[in-house]
Structure 1
Amino acid sequence: MDRPSPVARLVAACCARPRLTAIVGLLIGAIAAGFAATHFAITTSTDALLSPKLDWRQREAAYDRLFPQHDDEIVVVVDGKTPELAEEAAASLAAKLSAQPALFTRIQRPDGGDFFAREGLLYLPLKDVQDSTAQMIKAQPFLGPMAADPSLRGLMGGLSTALTGIKAGQANLADLDAPIAGLGEALGKVEAGQPSFFSWRALVSGKAPEARELRHILLVKPKLDYAALQPGDAAESAIRAQAKALNLDAAHGVSVRLTGDVPLQDEEFGSLADRAALIGALAVAAILLMLWMAVRSPRIIGCILVTTFVGLVVAAAWGLLVFHRYNVISVAFIPLFVGLGIDFGIQFSVRFRSDYADERTLPEALVEAGQGMGYPLTLAAVAIAVGFLAFVPTNYAGVSQLGVIAGVGMLIALALNLTLLPALLLLTRPKRGGGDIGHAPLEKLDGWVLGNRRLVLGTAALAALGSAALLPLLHFDFNPMHLRSAATESVSTLNDLTKDPDQTPNTLSVLAPNLAAAQPLAARLAKLPAVADVITLQSLIPDGQAEKLAAITDADTLLDLTLNPISTSPPPSDAEVAASLAQTAADLRTAAGSALGAPQDHARRLASLLDTLAKGPSDKRKAAEAALIPGLNTLLDQMRASLQAQPVTLDSLPEDLKRDWIAADGQARISVVPKGDSNDNATLERFTAAVTKIAPDANGPPISIQNGGNTVVGAFIEAGVLSFIAITALLFLVLRRTRDVAITMAPIVLTGLLTLGSCVLIGQPLNFANIIALPLLFGIGVAFHIYFVMAWRAGSAHLLQSSLSRAIFFSALTTATGFGSLWASSHPGTASMGKLLMISLIWTLVSALLFQPALMGPPDRRTSDARDPLHAG
């Protein structure tokens, strides 16, 4: 062996005192594990991921200070089978949540509440107001008895009163066909034991309810626990519990769904955990299988895993000491460390396994492995660390933190694989053997590559040029919604909302110095083709109020005593209800007579159902009451409130509503709504570009999403350039030959081009999730090519037949199969990361095992050891 290198001397020292080395290493690991376990913390807030110094982040923060109520909300979407059910559900749920100040600081109904219940008609077109009030007046004979007796008995009384008019010749049965047919359908379902949802509003208005009447929104401001993986879990669980207690479910004609920033983040972590056991099992099994194929020794595998685990907990403790808590990006150091840490262990162990197959003693083989692999491992670890540390100065704070932890982690992994691993190997004393590294299958390939260098290099050059030509077609999907599982409630609900321009959250907010200045700016924005609507506080002042109020006042005068009777009847007994049902059934048959026609058929069917209810068990009558009367009471309350409308002025608007539009310093908010599908990237880009041309300081999700994506892409480009320059400089410093540096870096460039070109061909865009895989891929690529170049410089020939190729091959497969298992995740972002890892590692192997040997060609000098050329040391 040549004169021992510093690494060989370090390995020899550890082998001289293996127990002490192992005890110290394991003790450090135990202390680090204890510290990490007791101090581990992670923030799931995405606010910490991007630098707050960015201009758009500063504008966003300034906006949030002016309107803090809009940040970190839970959006509760309440849908009902009827307008009455939707209103009852939203109102009751809002009341219950308002009684829990320990969990919620603010509950708002942007489309409901006392103000809109009273003033709602004023926001309709004049014709709709006139039609609505006319329908109320038309229904007066029918509603009067029910307002005085809001029960099933009162309903029957109202219907019998209306039928009296038919008997007197003042009306005909066709005039009552709609309510009779509707009641018949509803009571038919009750009799059959099926859910029945009857809309009084539809009955009075004479038309089907609009979509906006069947949905109400609650904006809930929860108290969050960012120390938890799901900060809003307690608040979300409380909302679901209250909805369950109020019977707000499909069986009762209501659905309650949660979306918004908080549920979206929480459910994303939930979907990440989905299949975690399966993915973990696949990863562990794959890693163990690849380790076995690499070293064929359970004892060596155990030593590698123990060394990797100790390094992992030490790196984790280091991260907590420096940053105190991880973020959702920096915690990705775990797979990065495992992938690269195991690579170091495989490289050392395969070389040791090969050396130990000779007549060397166990300590001699370990020292020889340190002599042969110490320099390449050190250079690879330092180069990878430099690559990770290049992320530190970027504006992507999450990855900047990751760079510090992973960069230092690589040095920790190197130190442990050159100290603890040799000591553990000496103590466990693996069996001799395994020197046959399988040259025969690779002899032909090795000879073919060296004999056809021009063909291999030419093919690689064409592939690189082709991939480079595809790069303009590669795009970064900046929309984080596309990374989330559409199967989760929060995502599916948000996708539902974005289809409606009146409810989409993808709006932009523009600030004006005051409300007066907001109006001309809003008018300019409204003219943009990409804009569907522009809203200011002034928009909440209805137009044509005088004419609308006149129609409402006339209706109120006529309906006052009808809707507000001087006295109301006490609740009826079951016998009284049964009697009223029987009487109305008789009245229906009298009105129908023997005539033929749909109205008569509907009357007879309803009469039959009423007779059945009258003679049947009381439970059926209670079910009929529950299906019809609550909605009736809701309608009556809404009609009473809507007929009390008063002129709406800026001063009369509710204070919490005004706070949503006017900041404490007087600045006025302008809300700009996009035209088209606001979940479509191209639509958002056109919309944002058009609005920011007029209002450069606009804020909102479209700008946050696009600027966030640009910042991430910029950070990776910046870090990529910095790391490329830094690693190239490091290689120049160490290798001192331009050709050798080029030979080391060219395959890395080729791998990158082939990976990105493959993404274009299979339609896989880069995104916030899979782009995190690039540092791992870059690090592995740097390591593999440094190993080859260092062996080549040492005079090794036929590298494809060496133990080094075996180590590289199985190291790549270990990482590929282990982290490629992420492809099985139900989380689209994680699955795309697994896909990108697999693609890139395949190209890394192709580049390392084919292009690299062809690029290097024959070594400068050859060794005499034909069996394993790496013995050149």
Structure 2
Amino acid sequence: VSIILVALIFIYQFNELWRPIKAVFALFIGLCYTLGFATLTFGQLNLLTITFLPMLIGLGIDFGIHLISRFEEELSKGTTPQNAIKIAMVNTGMGIFTGCLTTAAAFLAMGFTNFKGIQEMGVISGCGLILCLIPMITVLPALLITSKNITNNTTCFYRNNEHSLEKIWINHPYATLGIAACFTFIAFSQMLYLRFDYNLLKMQSKGLPAVQTEYKLINAGSNSIIFGVVLTDSLDQAKKLQKQLEALDSVASVKSMAIFYEGDQYQKAKIINDIRSLLRDINISSSIDSDVNLSELDRTLWSLQGYLGLSIEETAKEGLNDIKSQLESLRNAVIKLRQAILLGDKDLISKKLAAYQKALILDIKHTFEALKNQDSSFPVQPEDIPPAIRNRFVGRTGKLLLQVYPKHDVWQRTNQAIFVSDIRSVDPNATGTPVQLYEYTNLLKNSYIEAAWYSLAIIVIVSLVHFRSLISVILALLPVAVGMIWLGCFMVILDIPFNLANIMVLPLSIGIGVTSGIHILNRFAEEKNPSILSKSTGKAVIASGLTTVAGFGSLMLGKHQGIFSLGFVTAVGTMTCMIAALTVLPAVLKILLHKGWHIKEVNFLTLNK
């Protein structure tokens, strides 16, 4: 989907077929290089690294867009194809190369973090971007100049309406900056309300059965499927720790081996003997091989449905609403079963019900046999506990495990932090899923923030080497700063918080957003004219921005809510940075030019036609 969208945008923007196809072909070569690199270095992909392909499609095609756009502009001036490709490779090529390095730096900065998944994501994507650049500056130029249909009558490389629109902010730079500053100030005031959502359940696919089950358990107020874990060496210590843990406000219950040693052992032995006496003469046959008689079953279910209806009426009269809702749920289940029997394949349903009936009877038989064979001797020893239960609480080394269940929803960050803090107050070495989630989410969030700072530092260094001017570096980063503030405002308005997936946008937006600023400043250094949309550079910035949006936007097709939010936030962030680069930056350059500021010269190539 990503590569199709990118190709269509490319073809539409350039109003031409074969050159965009050649760029896509060069990109395909780069993607193959990247897949080979990922195989050799890591050998596998994880939940994070699997997203690199659509991202590289959106980012890698930008090199071809800028190269072809400048190539066409030079052809439209009457330049020979050989000289046109030289100018494009040298003049625009410097921006392409620097832009590639800054974006790759944003990815590679993730390699300095302590989170393995982020490290692999950064290395694969960063190196992949450089690998995509190689065919773009070797294979693509060769394809462009060897084409038989090269002409100097290339279609106009900008649209008049775009050029006329640009004159508004170029001719009125102070007004443009005033409006942008007001909007940015308002956006910044809203961005202060931007929150971070640690809840991993909200990142999963909405229809996932495990997620739905967890929500049902949370809403029902029963035990969560996740719990804290405390280990101890002796039964006495386990009893002591259990009492301490059960006294905590954030703990609902504690399960351990201690429960089997509580109370009067003699009284328990008597109860076991009584149960064995009751079950001694009960024998359950397991020889049930015939199919279920659906007609007879339907009559029975119909009768049950009627009795349930009468019971619902009686419980409603007596005000027993809890029992009434349970009976209604059971009656609805009976109705659905009868409908399935009526509408389904009779033979298949009969066989399935027979298999279920046999499994149920066997389960009941085994349970009764286990009860009959209970050992009533005392006191109870660990080896007396059934293996299925003992293996849950006793490790191979003899350590005893305590399962600590939270009282509140520990998927919520506040509850999670309190629960982890409480059980660590009893045992500093406590572990379990809530503790792991707490540490994991902290590490992941901090790793991305750390990667953003590394990314910013590397990009500043690369830009400083390229422009040899601190002011130029600040100007290149200006669209990123403005675009990120606008993005934060949109996220607050749309109620989309940062989460553990879309926070990746922090290092990425710095690398992706600064590329537009670099290309615009490069063209300004070449011609000393802040107008962009009237040249191939403006056209390329728009096209590359749209293809990047398409690359990341394709992630929104996934059912995983975390991946969806990553695609959405990065796509919107790319658009805001691009708009800021095309409006705010030229207006600033116009004012600086009017005040006599000149960007430091870069060695550009000028050739005769």
TM-score (norm 2): 0.78
> Deviations for 1:751-805, whole angstroms, at most 9, x for unmatched residues?
2222233222211122333334555433321211100111122213312322111
2:228 maps to what in 1?
A: 508
Q: 2:42 aligns with which of 303, 306, 323?
A: 323
- Give 3-state SS (helix, strand or coil) of 2:231's partner: strand
The answer to whether 1:743 aligns with 2:475 is yes
**Cα gap change, 1:561/1:756 in structure 2, threshold over 3 Å: closer, same or farther?**
closer
Q: Which residues in structure 2 correspond to 1:468-867 (within 5 Å)?
A: 468-497=188-217, 504-554=224-274, 556-557=276-277, 559=278, 562-563=281-282, 638=367, 641-642=370-371, 645=374, 646=376, 647=378, 649-651=380-382, 652-655=384-387, 657-794=389-526, 795-857=528-590, 860=593
Q: Please give the per-residue CA displacement for 1:288-346, whole angstroms capped at 9, x wherever unaligned.
A: 22111222221101110111011111122223223333333223332232122100100
SS at match of 1:509: strand
Q: Distance in 2 between matches of 1:465 and 1:653?
A: 67
Letter in 1 for 2:105: V
> In the alignment, which residue of structure 1 is the partner of 2:324?
none
Task: Rate the CA distance shift 1:710–1:498 in 2: closer, same or farther, 3 A.
Answer: same
% same residue: 24
Larger CA deviation: 699-708 vs 502-511: 502-511
Partner of 1:380: 99
| 3-state DSSP of counterpart to 1:705 | helix
CA distance in 2, matches of 1:775, 1:421: 29
Question: Secondary structure at the residue paired with 1:543?
Answer: coil
Distance 1:410 1:722 in 2: 18
Letter of the 2:533 counterpart: L
1:499–1:677 contact (8 Å) kept in structure 2: no
Matches of 2:148 and 2:425 in 1, distance apart?
71
The letter of the residue matching 1:759 is M
SS at match of 2:405: strand
**In 2 relative to 1, CA 391–467 (structure 1 residues): closer, same or farther, beyond 3 Å?**
same
How do 1:230-379 and structure 2 match up within 5 A? Answer: 280=1, 283-379=2-98
- AA aligned opposite 2:395: A
Change (3 A) 1:510 1:540: same
Alignment of 1:189-204 (within 5 A): none
TM-score normalised over the length of structure 1:
0.56
Cα distance, 1:748 vs structure 2: 0.9
Q: Is the contact between residue 796 and residue 872 of structure 1 (CA under 8 Å) also seen in structure 2?
A: no
Counterpart secondary structure, 2:475: helix
Contact 2:7 2:21 in 1 (8 A): no
CA distance in 2, matches of 1:510, 1:774: 37
Does the residue aligned with 1:766 lie in a helix, a strand or coil? coil
Native 8 Å contact 1:390 1:720 kept in 2: yes
1:425 is displaced (CA, Å) by 0.8
Matches within 5 A, 1:141-156: none
CA distance in 2, matches of 1:296, 1:417: 20
Change (3 A) 1:659 1:351: same
> Separation in 1 of the partners of 2:530 and 2:444?
43
SS in 2 for 1:449: helix
Q: Give the Å deviation of 1:556.
A: 4.9
- Give the Cα separation in 2 of the matches to 1:670 and 1:662: 9
Flag the 1:759–1:697 CA change in 2: closer, same or farther, 3 A. Answer: farther
Matching of residues 61-210 of structure 1 within 5 Å: none
- One-letter identity of the residue aligned with 2:583: L
Q: Is the 8 A contact 1:315 1:409 kept in 2?
A: yes
Is the 2:441–2:500 contact (alpha carbons within 8 Å) kept by the matching residues of 1? Answer: yes
The Cα shift of 1:731 comes to 1.9
User: Structure 1's 707 and 429: CA in aligned 2 closer, same or farther, altered over 3 A?
Assistant: farther
SS in 2 for 1:326: coil
CA distance in 2, matches of 1:404, 1:560: 66
**Counterpart residue type for residue 342 of structure 1:** I
CA distance in 2, matches of 1:631, 1:401: 48
Point out the more displaced range, 832-841 or 392-401.
832-841
Q: Deviations over 1:367-411 (max 9, x none)?
A: 121132011112111222222221111012122122222222333
Residues 177-227 of structure 1, C-alpha deviation per residue, up to 9 Å, x if partnerless?
A: xxxxxxxxxxxxxxxxxxxxxxxxxxxxxxxxxxxxxxxxxxxxxxxxxxx
**Whole-angstrom CA distance in 2 between matches of 1:722 and 1:307:** 30
Letter in 1 for 2:407: K
Asked whether the 8 Å contact 1:501–1:532 carries over to 2, the reply is no
Separation in 2, partners of 1:734, 1:412: 21
* Equivalences, count: 532
How large is the Cα RMSD of the aligned pairs? 3.4
Deviation at 1:364, TM superposition (A): 1.8
Identify the residue that residue 56 of structure 1 maps to in structure 2.
none
Per the alignment, in what secondary structure is the counterpart of residue 673 of structure 1?
A: strand
> Could you say if the C-alpha distance between residues 369 and 529 of structure 1 is closer, same or farther in structure 2, counting changes exceeding 3 Å?
same
Question: Which residue identity does 1:789 align to in structure 2?
Answer: L
Aligned partners of 1:501 and 1:674 also within 8 Å? no
Specify the alignment match of 2:171 in structure 1: 451
Contact 1:479 1:681 in 2 (8 A): yes
Higher mean C-alpha deviation, range 814-823 or range 841-850: 814-823
Per the TM alignment, residue 691 of structure 1 is displaced from its structure 2 partner at its CA by 2.1
Give secondary structure in 2 for the equivalent of 1:428: coil
- 1:687 Cα deviation from its structure 2 partner: 2.0
SS state of the match for residue 74, structure 2? helix
Distance in 2, matches of 1:426 and 1:390, equals 37
Per-residue deviation, 1:810: 1.3
Distance 1:766 1:801, change over 3 A: same
Q: 1:460 to 1:711 in 2, by over 3 A?
A: farther
Pair 1:480–1:735, CA change in 2 (3 A): same
Post-superposition CA distance 1:570-598 (Å, at most 9, x none): 99xxxxxxxxxxxxxxxxxxxxxxxxxx9
- Note the C-alpha offset of 1:853: 1.1
Instruction: Please give the alpha-carbon distance, in whole angstroms, between the structure 2 residues aligned to 1:335 and 1:555.
Output: 64
- Structure 2 CA distance for aligned equivalents of residues 554 and 374 of structure 1: 89
CA, structure 1 residues 634+509, in 2 after alignment: closer, same or farther (shift >3 Å)?
closer
Structure 2: state its 5+ residue gaps: 289-313, 315-346, 597-603
Letter in 2 for 1:371: V
Q: Per-residue displacement from partner, 1:343-380 (whole Å, max 9, x unpaired)?
A: 01000001111111222222121112113201111211
Please tell me whether the aligned partners of residues 55 and 552 of structure 2 are also in contact (alpha carbons under 8 angstroms): no
Distance 1:675 1:563, change over 3 A: same
Which residue number corresponds to residue 131 of structure 2? 412
Of the structure 1 ranges 437-446 and 638-647, higher mean CA displacement relative to structure 2 is found in 638-647
Provide closer, same or farther for how the CA distance between residues 661 and 638 of structure 1 changes in structure 2, counting only shifts above 3 A.
closer
| Cα distance in 2 between the residues matched to 1:560 and 1:377 | 82
Distance 1:284 1:339, change over 3 A: closer
> Higher relative CO (CA 8 A, sep ≥ 6), structure 1 or 2?
2
